[in-house]
A and B are shown apart, each in its own frame.
Chain A
Amino acid sequence: LAKTTQPISMDSYEGQEVNITCSHNNIATNDYITWYQQFPSQGPRFIIQGYKTKVTNEVASLFIPADRKSSTLSLPRVSLSDTAVYYCLVDLVSGGYNKLIFGAGTRLAVHP
């Protein structure tokens, strides 16, 4: 599985847009890029997944350049409740199961 690198922490203020970039230089052709969010003492929660270009859902956008060696999670107009740890993962399309390998994630703190 490709290793990912993301900032350890970020700070933002309510109402701002937050962009968290993840590097995955060794991403394989069949890998998808998936982001999870985790609040303290809760399980990781799926946010968004993409393969290339841009994906948007009701929560976030995911930007993936053509070479797919990085990706950026964009959270529009964050609120205090977006304070959490955000994980970038790449996972193999295998036709079967796959284990998720979590890194340390990015700890986002949203301030009033």
Chain B
Amino acid sequence: EPEVTQTPSHQVTQMGQEVILRCVPISNHLYFYWYRQILGQKVEFLVSFYNNEISEKSEIFDDQFSVERPDGSNFTLKIRSTKLEDSAMYFCASSEAPGLVSNIQYFGAGTRLSVL
């Protein structure tokens, strides 16, 4: 069964450092998303991406965040200068072009980001 893969599974960084979280969406999917989940809290939407541009972003996704699809398979989330409060699980998701039916999003296993 095709799946979304995320690397690394755990990233430890120092406050103020840049991190790049990587995702390989399901190959025939066209819509890509990042979500985050702070420990013990809800899953929160960060950003959606389609046709090489951001479709929508939440208020969490400020200027410190950026996304990129550098090639035909990877989808990355960059945090320019990490803060302690960026510590969370980050989930990548992808979905097909929905057409006339609701698109189902498939999630990766997540990257646990720990900012020290």
Contact = CB atoms under 8 A, between A and B. Distances in A.
B89 A99 contact: no
Given A41-B89, A41-B112, A43-B108, A97 B31 contact: yes
Contacts of A101: 45
| Interface of chain A: mostly helix, strand, loop or mixed | loop
Interface stretch (B64-72, B79-87, B98-106): B98-106
B26 to A, nearest CB: 12
Contacts of B43: 38, 44, 87, 100, 102
* A-side interface size class: 20 to 34
Contacts of B103: 91, 97-98
A42 B109 contact: yes
A43 B101 contact: no
Given A99-B48, A100-B45, A94 B98 contact: yes
A41 B110 contact: yes
A10 B33 CA distance: 30
Given A44-B91, A99-B33, A104 B42 contact: yes
Given A102-B42, A102-B43, A43 B102 contact: no
A6 interface: no
A34 B44 contact: no
A34 B105 CA distance: 10
A32 B109 CA distance: 24
Contacts of A100: 33, 35, 43, 45, 93, 105
Contacts of A99: 33, 45, 48, 56, 58
A93 B97 CA distance: 11
Closest 3 CB pairs of A and B: A43-B107, A32-B102, A102-B43
12 contacts: A32-B101, A41-B89, A41-B112, A43-B91, A44-B91, A92-B102, A93-B101, A95-B99, A97-B48, A97-B103, A102-B42, A102-B43
Interface of A: 31-32, 34, 38, 41-46, 49, 87, 91-105
